[in-house]
Amino acid sequence: MSPMLTSDPTNASPCFFAEPHEVAPDVLLFANFVNNYAICLEDALIIVDPGFEHLARLFHQAVRTWTSAPLRVVVYTHGHADHAFGLQPFLEAGERPTILAQENCLARFRRYERTHGWNAFINQRQFSLPQPMFPRSFIWPNMVFHDRLTQRLGRFTLELRAARGETDDACYLYIPEKRYLFCGDLIIWMSPNCGNPQKVQRYPEDWAEALETMAGLEAEYLFPGHGLVIQGAQAVRTVLLDTARYLRVLVDQVLERMNRGVQPEEIFHAVEPDPRLSSRPYLLPHYDHPKFIVRNLLRLWGGWWNGNAADLLPAPWCRQAEEIVRLAGGADAVVARGRELLRAGETRLAAHLAEWVTRAEPTHRGGQELKRDVYAARLGEEPSLMAQGIYRAAMNDARVALGQEPLPPSAGRLGIMRPT
């Protein structure tokens, strides 16, 4: 079996790196942090997601070692930096393909231009990078569609359908003659990236609907944006419908509570994912977190207010913290209590105390030491890469305030880097 192919997804152990190789007839996989695909149909080359800008030449070399067929079509399953930025070497070689994307990809690239600095700082924090990073140049699609697009390429049909989910510009490609389904990040071999606390809105219910529609295609191969390629109609259907059900369980719980007037914070703590589905190797919460998906649903349907009237037009955090610390009897008292909580394993509550004392008295050494140690503990106990990145950044803020070197990802828990 190929290291990137499985016919039994319920027992598979995902592999995220492999040498470029064929994973299905006429399909080359270039696997790094993301899956980049090249498809040779008769004498025409199709690329699905050309990938990272910094790996573009390696991808080009792998494809051109595999085939010399002219590049006719490129598909962006969405406009994230790990999917749509690796085409330049093909263009430099004189290729002039049709570049297909859902129409919102254009607005995404325009937003990236306007918010470059913001996205660079988010990526630095989310992925524990040494400095802010985000691409500045874009290879724009030259043909876009709203809902669906069908093109013929020789005797083959390329069917593209929009599928709002992780992004509002997502789409998937189906080649019915081959029964090949390229789904981008609608499947990533982790729980769906549908809640990211630092990024724009995600769409869990639309995502579930798209997965259910894809399951009806009866594809024989599923080519995901990350993780293992899946072979076998039943295996493909299982992964798609399990992922849809995972999302619908969260959607239904949130919606039912919202319609009863339950406050957002109570909803956040009450809603849990299906435990059986959460144990599937392709639905483990190692990137996003189901609680973040709950937050995103609350934002989608209920706005940004958290239900606490004091937070509607709040006092600055530092002023709140000063008052809390004063009422507690001073910074030393807050630090002492924070240490008690930390020793007792109450890391979530200890983190609040660490934030209060360091915001009230940023130069208090004991407070910064508490913050450093609390977030080191939170980092060690949290499997979600998104949470890890934020906790590591908070820990390192405290280390810098104490005159210590920040710790890189290798010194803590390290997840799969997907700068999207």
Q: What is the pLDDT of residues 106-163, one digit of tens each?
A: 999 999 999 999 999 999 998 888 899 999 999 999 999 999 999 999 999 999 999 9
pLDDT for res 414: 33
Note the pLDDT of residue 12: 75
Determine phi and psi for 161, rounding to 5 degrees.
Answer: -130, 140
Distance CA 401, CA 318 (A): 17
DSSP-derived pairing of the beta strands 44-48 and 71-75? parallel
Q: Residue 15 has what pLDDT?
A: 60
- Reference 408, options 131, 132, 129; nearest CA is 129
Domain ranges of the chain: 5-249, 315-411
> What confidence score (pLDDT) does residue 16 get?
60
The predicted structure's pLDDT at residue 11:
77
Contact yes or no for 215/237 (Cβ under 8 A): yes
140, 131 Cβ separation under 8 angstroms: no
CB 254 within 8 A of CB 298: yes
Q: Rounded to 5 degrees, what are φ and ψ at 144?
A: -125, 165
Question: Which residues of the chain have a pLDDT value below 50?
Answer: 1-2, 411-420
The fourth-level CATH superfamily of domain 315-411 is: Alkyl sulfatase, dimerisation domain (1.25.40.880)
Instruction: Output the CATH code of domain 5-249.
Output: 3.60.15.30
With b meaning 16 or more CB within 10 Å and e meaning fewer, what string describes 63-89?
bbebbebebbbbbbbbbbbbbbbbbeb
Q: Considering only CA atoms, which of 314, 329, 332, 325 is closest in space to residue 355?
A: 325
pTM of the model: 0.93
